[in-house]
Chain A
Amino acid sequence: MRILANSGTAGSTLTTSNLQPGIRSSVRLFDPIANAFLGAPGNSPVQAYTGGVPVASEQRSQAEGVSRDPLVCRLRLILDRVDQLSTLPQNWDSYGSQPSAIPAVLAAKQLIWKVIASRYSHALDEAIPFSAVPLSGGGIQIEWRGSNGEIEVEIDPANSFSYLLTTHHGGNDETEERDNLSEEDITRLISSVTL
């Protein structure tokens, strides 16, 4: 599934400097859930989330070319990784776990895109998850690392969100963990880490 495209001229790259507020990036990210490019004129990425199953626009992405930008590649790798979690073998952990459940995979990808959409213009680097791993029992755990700390988000097979938030205060770390949050609350928390 090709979902990331470089809409700029050949050789255009995405750098930290062109991710500052008010400066438009030359790289455009195609959001398969909204079926549109982030930041496209007249398209609000955040408002585009109305649910539904992600569908890639294969033809459109192929026509525009797949980006080789490091950040976009990182995002593509993490999305591919999330997809792969549902294809893990039974007993992947040697303690009898099944692979990640499809609803957890879809919820994870939707959450990633929601965070990308909300942080796209000024913190894309930190908006891309650090890791995505399976949880025994069929869930998924995604971690974001940002300037303000780290957050591990657990998505269980029933699409319930839990988290461990670690924030840095001088030389000390503070942790906070909670269960059963809404997607909206989790997105807000992740954004607070990825300033």
Chain B
Amino acid sequence: MGTPVVAVLDEDFLLRRLSILGHFNPDGTINSNAFKKDGRPDPQISVDLARMATVREALSRAPNDKFKIGIIQVRPVRELGLVVRHQPTPENPSHTIIEGNNSRATCRELARLTWLSTLENI
């Protein structure tokens, strides 16, 4: 039996895997490319629901140690007109998606709203 789907609240936080090799600007801020796929705005961004996963767990799903975790709250994401919903998979019960990202301006906003986790031990 799979993980039941839960309601994602505005107050919830989302965890996004970020590549040290490619998703950061020289000043340490997050680049909008973190929300693009195949060179286009990613219409279905994969994240983890922080309520159901730790930063360490999110990092453990990365293929190597060249990744950090970005944190973004649901409310401002929804204020951009995007849909956030829990979509658990057998491998990742906390898997959640952000839908409706179809512009570069939205990618840039998402990058601006994301901050870098320094809480890798929780």
Q: Which residues of A contact B (CB under 8 A)?
A: 77, 85, 88-89, 91-95, 130-131, 133-139, 141, 143, 152, 154, 156, 162-164, 166, 175, 177
Contact = CB atoms under 8 A, between A and B. Distances in A.
Given A94-B17, A177-B105, A156 B39 contact: yes
Given A135-B33, A141-B33, A94 B63 contact: yes
A136 B33 contact: yes
A94 B25 CA distance: 18
24 contacts: A92-B21, A92-B22, A93-B19, A94-B17, A94-B62, A94-B63, A95-B37, A130-B25, A131-B25, A135-B36, A137-B37, A137-B39, A138-B39, A141-B31, A141-B33, A143-B25, A152-B104, A152-B108, A154-B39, A163-B104, A164-B105, A166-B105, A166-B108, A175-B105
B31 A131 contact: yes
A156 B33 CA distance: 13
B33 A134 contact: yes
Contact of B103 (A94, A154, A177): A177
Nearest to A160: B39
Contacts of B103: 177
Nearest to A132: B26
Given A94-B62, A177-B104, A130 B26 contact: yes
Interface residues on B, range: 20 to 34
B32 A152 contact: yes
A156 B22 CA distance: 16
For A88, A93, A139, the residue with the greatest tally of chain B CB atoms inside 10 Å of its CB is A93
B23 interface: yes
A94 B33 contact: no
Given A134-B21, A143-B25, A164-B108, 17 more contacts: A77-B26, A88-B22, A89-B21, A92-B21, A93-B19, A93-B22, A94-B67, A95-B46, A131-B31, A133-B25, A135-B33, A136-B36, A139-B39, A152-B32, A156-B39, A164-B32, A177-B105
